[in-house]
Amino acid sequence: MGGGCCKPSQKSASNPKLKRNIKKSNLPEMRKKFELMKQLNIESIPVKSLGTNGPLHISGLKNVNASDCGIKSIDDDFFDASSRTLKTVNFTSNAISEFPNLFACTKLVTLKLSKNNLNKVPKEICQIKTLKHLELDHQDIEELIPELFLGNLELLSISHNKISAIPEKTRNGDDLFTSFSQTLVCLDLGHNPIGSIPNGLLEQTNIHKLNLEGTNASKKELELMPGLSQYIERRKNRIDIAIWNEIDVDWNLCGLQG
């Protein structure tokens, strides 16, 4: 699913010389370079774990790209030294089973955790007030926690999981949609066993791009929902902007067919 996210530089990951240096454990020199750049890009380099006593524990980082590294574990305090500077974290395609402890990061904007082994999202996620872009696709997540809708997210992509329902209440039992985030505009729930869509998701939010492809939701039922007209109006306004700017648009109704 698309979204305007910061993409860390790929130069260091594609540099064969850098990879050879890391494999030879010539890390002190590389660490100095990473500290100067304020970026850690070790994409596709085998690491397995990130520890506070390791050579990759660097303070003041802004961007971390550690995708496809085979990472299984991350020390709880690994990000403490960068909690006031970190903006972008990419852990896509690893073997992480515990949600990274990023809750103290006061400037984190983009977090990519797709294709890992996560089975839940901690409610502490709402503590990251600056988080706008969250990708959690291709996991074993079963619950769509209400806290995901109470923060400042603009894009939430959580497709290809095991989610069967969309919450309608907060943990206190209040109506979720009366306090629903007004910043969330893109929501990808595709390829989850979701059967029904709460009307409030269409009527009381600012979502203009909702993907339900591959779910158990019915297009006919969706067309009868009273909140659909509000969603279509928001979608139309967004499509008009996209056409004006010559951007490709998706004309399907939430990705549903027939």
pLDDT in tens, 19-65: 544 554 555 666 666 666 788 899 999 999 998 787 777 889 999 99
pTM of the model: 0.84
For residue 251, being part of any structural domain is answered with: no
Please answer whether residues 141 and 120 qualify as being in contact, where contact means their C-beta atoms are separated by less than 8 angstroms.
yes
Number of domains in the chain: 1
For residue 224, being part of any structural domain is answered with: no
Taking the chain (258 residues) in runs of 10, the rounded mean pLDDT of each run is 42 46 55 73 93 81 96 93 95 96 96 98 93 98 96 97 97 95 96 96 94 94 91 82 47 76
Domain interval for residue 96: 16-196+209-214
Q: Which helix (H) or strand (E) holds 232?
A: helix 228-244
Supply the CATH number for residue 97's domain: 3.80.10.10
Q: CA geometry: angle at 200 spanning 113 and 179, to 5°?
A: 70
d(CA 140, CA 57): 29
Read off the tokens for 245: 């700017």
For residue 177, being part of any structural domain is answered with: yes
For residue 159, being part of any structural domain is answered with: yes
pLDDT for the residue numbered 34: 67
C-alpha R_g of the chain = 20
